[in-house]
Amino acid sequence: MVEERIGFALAKEQGIKNAVAVIVDGISQDLSRGIPRDTHVEFITANSPEGLEIMRHTTAHILAQAIKELWRGTQIAIGPTIANGFYYDVLCEHPITPEDFEKIESQMRRIIYENYKISREVLTKQAATEMFEERNEPFKVELVRDLDATEMTIYRHGDRFVDLCRGPHLPGTGAASKHFKLMKVAGAYWRGDSKREMLQRIYATSWYTKEDLEQYLHNLEEAEKRDHRKIAKDLDLFHLQEESPGCIFWHPYGWTMYNALRDYIRRRIQKEGYVEVCTPQMVDRSLWEESGHWEKYRENMFIAESEGRLLAIKPMNCPGAIQIFKQGIKSYRDLPIRMAEFGCCHRNEPSGALYGAMRVRGFTQDDAHIFCTLNQINSETKKFCLLLESVYKDMGFDEFSVKFSDRPEKRTGTDEIWDLSEKLLQEATREAGLNFILNKGEGAFYGPKLEFVLKDKLGREWQCGTIQVDFQMPEKLGAWYTAEDGQKRHPIMLHRAILGSLERFIGILLEHYAGRVPLWLSPVQIVVTTITNDSNSYAEEIFKEFEKSDVRTELDQRPEKISYKIREHILKKRPIIAVIGAEEEKRRQLTLRYADGHQETIPVEKAVAKVREMSRPPQG
């Protein structure tokens, strides 16, 4: 018989006072469970991200208990943790509204105060089914029956509450934090099926300290102010409407910003040896069948029919890039070929998932495909990582993390190909000096990938850039080159993007900068405005001087008070305002007012040269 130690005792023995769970040979479990000797043990503490998630998971159960105690007959469904909190889905005769939140929170605090012991039990599938049937919990019964296991784990809060769960959990409800807040309630179909029951989903957040909770709530308020959709409306950048769901109507100011961003990326990649191409929007299904997309991605593609042929609007650019590569004979001396495309793609995202510019159906990628040899994967990956890091710094993002996504369950290719491609990508990433975390099973269906995650000024994370290793698509689509030994070989294809999509990245920039984007990206870089109409001719002359210097300039000669005009341009996030009055005209000067509030009066020539230099895009 294997000798075991209890997690509580072992934590005490090792002097770990804030342990909430334990990892035994890579698997997390409750402190109340036995730990065999000669196993690798790590403790999860309350102040760790894993500990915070366990506390939130327990608090989700406390939320479900509180609702059941307040409204008898409530049936509970699922209650997972999510970013910064958790939710629980319930079927309740009482329509829960935000007015009920205070009552629910009070009941939750009572449950925490009572400190019910949380205990884990293992039941057979039959026993678990019978128990939940007896308790009138049909959603739990369905989950039990669908689980591919002979035994189930349940968790009890004393004799007051029981739930189906894998755990782990805190040892008692009293270990949960009182610093929580219910955030909102929404409708959610059971298992996402519109033909099933409509449940009430209660969202909540929970933190270990009052300060963390207050900071999170403050950030939410700030995020609401920074909502890119509101900023886009206020600054007249773009709009969306029901007649074209998930597609953006760009207004002149927004399109100017869009082109400034695209031109910047174009300059950066040209310096890195990329050539730019453009491929068709609609392609016959036969090519998508050859590439594997028809089988693996069909449900996300928009389909059109013409003259008896099925055509797909491209959801991605890679098959088209291969068609260009195949034109003419390629030698190993030609590789690597770095082929860039600002490709407009369409994907049939669910309407409920669409969100401003962040989640759309029509978007343009800063896409590129690098055709290379096996020996070039390492150097090309490192070059890309350095370019990406430089671009992010130019955009004002000094901090990003890297996820390594390995083979998904739904994939093409042999295990041998996946083993090699994963190994090579990991080696190149380490040699580029980047640490990464494993994103299990989230690779593309044709190969592993790196995902680059930005952190904005509110601490929110955004997955943007990516690079993917693909041994398979060039082979499927018949791309080859003549190797040094004279043999035909298939190139390796690196799929890569830095921004991800221009639409989404502009949304991220608007929220990161609260609408006041860097001067080089601003649709209007300077406004020339007059104090009185007497200076109109001089203002027009200055306006033309800035325009000749390629500074995006706007002229404001409205017969309004100068204080009103300045205030209006500040609200529109104009970075520089050139104020012209009789004194400026007399001395051939300009008074420049900057976004931070400071101002200076300088000669026209100096002002034009200064603003021209300030408004230049980063050179990398």
Rounded to 5 degrees, what angle do the CA atoms 164, 166, 167 make?
105
Active-site residue among 107, 365, 468, 472? 365
If one counts every other C-beta atom within 10 angstroms of the C-beta of residue 216, the result is 18
Nearest to 368 by CA among 471, 496, 188: 496
Active-site residue among 165, 318, 385, 464? 318
Active-site residue among 61, 338, 361, 449? 449
If one counts every other C-beta atom within 10 angstroms of the C-beta of residue 299, the result is 6
Instruction: Give, for 616, the enclosing helix (H) or strand (E).
Output: none
449 among known catalytic residues:
yes
What phi and psi, each to the nearest 5 degrees, are found at residue 586?
A: -60, -40
**Cβ within 8 Å of residue 610, ≥6 positions away:** 592, 602
Active-site residue among 314, 411, 495, 573? 495
Percent helix, percent strand, percent coil in the chain, to nearest 5: 40, 30, 30
Active-site residue among 201, 347, 512, 569? 347
Burial of 414 (0-12, 13-18, 19+ CB in 10 A): exposed
> How far, in Å, CA of 596 to CA of 593, rounded?
8
495 among known catalytic residues:
yes
Q: Which residues pair with 41 in a beta bridge?
A: 24
Tokens of 608: 């034009």
3 state DSSP class of 458: coil
Q: What is the end-to-end Cα distance of the chain in Å, rounded?
A: 65
Q: Which residues pair with 470 in a beta bridge?
A: 493
Burial annotation 449-485 (CB, 10 A radius, 16+ → b, else e): bbbbbbebeeebebebbbbbbbbbbbbbbebbbeeee
The answer to whether the beta carbons of residues 268 and 391 sit under 8 Å apart is yes
Q: Which residues pair with 56 in a beta bridge?
A: none
Q: Which residues pair with 264 in a beta bridge?
A: none
398 among known catalytic residues:
no
Nearest to 212 by CA among 56, 31, 88: 56
Active-site residue among 228, 314, 369, 407? 369
Return the amino acid letter for 288. Answer: W
The answer to whether the beta carbons of residues 279 and 313 sit under 8 Å apart is no
Residues in the chain: 620
> How far, in Å, CA of 249 to CA of 101, rounded?
39
**Cβ within 8 Å of residue 16, ≥6 positions away:** 43, 45
Nearest to 581 by CA among 565, 595, 597: 565
Three-state helix/strand/coil letters over 172-228: EHHHCCCEEEEEEEEEEEHHHCCCCCEEEEEEEEEECCHHHHHHHHHHHHHHHHCCH
Active-site residue among 367, 406, 456, 556? 367
Which residues are known catalytic residues?
318, 347, 365, 367, 369, 449, 495
